[in-house]
Amino acid sequence: MSGDAALTASDRSARRSSDHLTGALCALGAYALWGFLPLYFVLLEPTGPWEVVAWRILLSLVFYAVLVPLSGGWPRLRGILRQPRLLGATALAGVLIYVNWQIFVIATYTGHVIQMSLGYFINPIVTVILGVLVLRERLRPLQWVAVVLAVLATLVIVLGYGAFPWLAVGVAFSFGFYGLVKKTIGADVDVTSGLTCESLWLAPLAIGQLVVVALTIGLTFGSAGPGHAVLLAMAGVVTAAPLMLFAAGARRVPLVVLGIAQFVTPTMQLMIGVAILDEPMPPERWAGFAIVWIALAIFTTDAVIASRRRTTDGVPGPPIRQE
pLDDT at 76: 87
Q: Domains in the chain: how many in total?
A: 1
Instruction: Give the domain range for residue 63.
Output: 37-313
Whole-number CA gyration radius for the chain: 21
pLDDT at 255: 61
pLDDT at 173: 92
pLDDT at 61: 93
For residue 18, tell me if it sits in a domain: no
For residue 323, tell me if it sits in a domain: no
> Are the CB atoms for 144 and 152 separated by under 8 Å?
no
For residue 162, tell me if it sits in a domain: yes
For residue 238, tell me if it sits in a domain: yes
pLDDT at 295: 87
Rounded Cα gap, residues 97 and 238, in angstroms: 15
For residue 250, tell me if it sits in a domain: yes
Residue-wise pLDDT tens digits, 217-253: 999 998 888 999 999 999 989 988 888 888 777 667 7
For residue 28, tell me if it sits in a domain: no
For residue 263, tell me if it sits in a domain: yes
> Are the CB atoms for 139 and 128 separated by under 8 Å?
yes
pLDDT at 323: 35
For residue 213, tell me if it sits in a domain: yes
pLDDT at 163: 80
Rounded Cα gap, residues 93 and 194, in angstroms: 9
Q: Minimal CA–CA distance to 268: which of 40, 72, 110, 47? A: 40
Instruction: Flag residues of the chain having pLDDT under 70.
Output: 1-17, 161, 250-251, 254-257, 259, 310-323
- As to burial, measured by CB atoms within 10 angstroms (0-12 exposed, 13-18 middle, 19+ buried), residue 141 is exposed
